[in-house]
Amino acid sequence: MRSVLLVPVYVVVIAVACCAAAAATGAAGQVRQIAAAAAVTALASALAAVPMLLVRGADQPRVVQAALASTGAHMLLTLALAGGAWAAGLAAFAPALLGWLLVFYWLSLAVLALALVRVVRSARRQ
């Protein structure tokens, strides 16, 4: 279960590395968009863990359904939070922001899916 809760941490670590690389290569203008995309994705990943917390200790079929809900929530929350950040003026709508959102979304989805597989396998069988 802890692995699901660590997904936002992985996103933040990768975002810090990307920001450092962007600053070192002279693309310091990308740092704000990297940070915005990482914040959106980290928050969506954290909120996507809620269904898994609700079925803690349940049997495997319920955990599988919660894992499916988590991946769906992750996708919809990323989309909604990105739109909200743009509407609030926290992030400029730019192709670079969309690119970084895609990078962080797919990265976090892969890590989330691997963590969910571990949780499903460790759930008690019916």
Range of the domain at 50: 2-122
pTM of the model: 0.89
Amino acid (one-letter) located at 112: L
Beta pairing partners, 7: none
CA distance 92 to 96: 10
pLDDT tens string 23-50: 899 887 788 889 999 999 999 999 999 9
pLDDT tens string 61-120: 999 999 999 999 999 999 999 988 888 877 776 788 889 999 999 999 999 999 999 999
Number of independent structural domains in the chain: 1
Sole residue written with tokens 């996507």: 48
Q: Is the pLDDT of residue 124 over 90?
A: no
- The backbone torsions φ and ψ at residue 26, rounded to the nearest 5 degrees and listed phi first, read 90, 10
